[in-house]
Structure 1
Amino acid sequence: MKHYQLRLYEDVIAPNHAPVYLAAARRALYVVSGDVTIEYGEGAQHQRADGAWLGDDDLALLAGAEGVKLWRWELISAGASGETLSAGEISAAPGARSTLKIDAPIELEPRQRWLMRCDKVQFPPGGVAHTHVHQGPGVRCTLEGEITIETLGDSHTHGPGSAWLELGHAPVLAPTTEACATTFIRCFILPRTCRGRSSIRYVHPEDASKNKPQRYHVFGERFITLD
């Protein structure tokens, strides 16, 4: 196994700010609010709130008239030469700021071929993800509502803006609040052969036939190459 870091940043860029530049990285961008034009090596894409972009080019980000708030996931090799926590933060942009929400260590099998997926998971009030595993690790962040993650003997509750790592192979039970609907945004690393397929597997046979109230929307998938 090879060690990597999956980082999640929150970027806030002022309205109509001059272009903000990011170095090349394996990344996913989710637009939390506002809108942004993403310029990359092969073209450009305009993205409004509740949309995502995946790629590995160096970027220019142009915020719209209302500014933009982004969640930005980046996969880097652990201990990469010259790599620091500040390397992924926006710099030389006085109307922009970056906040590192989580810097999560993960392990990936270098003989496996991988993809990066960004999606949205929505629960009705009181919905539960029964005890399950996934085919790869990932970092989630709550958009609205509240979810409790019970795994490896620990339990943590995540409200809006709170991020967490799921290892994939470690079983997770995830109840949500009954007070309102809950939504989280997820970026995770999966085998390429999982393309277009659900990665979830239920640990207890009796859970397979239970009601699954959560709904999924995949924003995109992109094949990635490990260092």
Structure 2
Amino acid sequence: MKPFQLRLFEDVIAPNHPPVYLPSARRAIYVVRGDVAIEFDTGAQHHPEQSAWLGEDSVALIAGSEGATLWRWELMSGSEPTPGEIASAPGASSTLKLAAPVELDPRQQWLMRCDKVQFPPGGVAHTHVHQGPGVRCTLEGEITIETLGASHTHGPGQAWLELGHAPVLAPTTEARDTTFIRCFILPRACRNRSSIRYVRPEDANKNKPQRYHVFGERFISLDAQ
């Protein structure tokens, strides 16, 4: 197994700020508020609120007239922290929400997926595993993650790691809808397929209230970056 860090930053860029530059990395960028133009090696894309971009190029981020709040995931080689905050941009800031160590099998081929998961009030993700690790962040509502003998509740803006192979039970608040945004690393064979597997046979036919929206997938290399 090869050590990596999957980290999540929140970037806030002022309205009409000059371009903000980031070096190459395996990353996903989700637009929480506002809008942003993302320029990369082979072109550019405009992303409004509630959309996402995935890539490995160095990029320029150009916020729109209302500015932009971004959640930015990066998969970095090695177990030691490396700089990831926005630099040389007085009208922009970065907050590290989570830097989580993960291990990936270099014999496997991998992809990065960014998606949205939505629950109605009181919805539950029954005990399950996934095919790879990922970092989630709550957009609205509240979700409790019960795994490895511990239980933690995550409200808006709070992030957590799921290892993939460790079973998780995830009830949500009955007070309102709950939504989280997720970036995780999966075998390429999971392309266009759900990665979830239910652990208990009795859960197989239970109601599954959660809804999914995949923003994008991208094949990634585990070579040093």
TM over 0.5: yes
CA distance in 2, matches of 1:225, 1:208: 34
Structure 2 counterpart of 1:7: 7
Question: Does residue 1:16 correspond to 2:12, yes or no?
Answer: no
Which of 167, 171, 178 does residue 167 from structure 2 map onto?
171
AA aligned opposite 1:138 = G
List 4+ stretches of structure 1 deviating above 6 A.
none
Q: Which residues of 2 match residues 82-101 of structure 1 at below 5 A? A: 84=82, 87-101=83-97
Which of 115, 120, 126 does residue 124 from structure 1 map onto?
120
Q: Percent identity?
A: 79
Structure 1 counterpart of 2:46: 46
Structure 1: gaps of 5 or more residues? none
Structure 1 counterpart of 2:131: 135
Structure 2: gaps of 5 or more residues? none
CA distance in 2, matches of 1:208, 1:27: 33
Q: TM-score, normalised by structure 1?
A: 0.97
2:189 counterpart SS class: helix
CA distance in 1, matches of 2:210, 2:29: 23
Structure 1 counterpart of 2:218: 222
In the alignment of these two chains, the number of paired residues is 223
- Residue 79 of structure 1 and its aligned partner are, at CA, apart by 4.2
**Higher alpha-carbon deviation: 30-39 or 70-79:** 70-79
Question: Contact 2:79 / 2:101 at 8 angstroms: preserved in 1?
Answer: no
Question: Contact 2:28 / 2:52 at 8 angstroms: preserved in 1?
Answer: yes
1:88 counterpart SS class: coil
Going from structure 1 to structure 2, the CA distance change for 1:79 and 1:150 (only over 3 Å counts) comes to closer
CA distance in 1, matches of 2:70, 2:201: 39
Going from structure 1 to structure 2, the CA distance change for 1:117 and 1:51 (only over 3 Å counts) comes to same
AA aligned opposite 1:27 = R
Q: TM-score, normalised by structure 2?
A: 0.98
Structure 2 counterpart of 1:150: 146
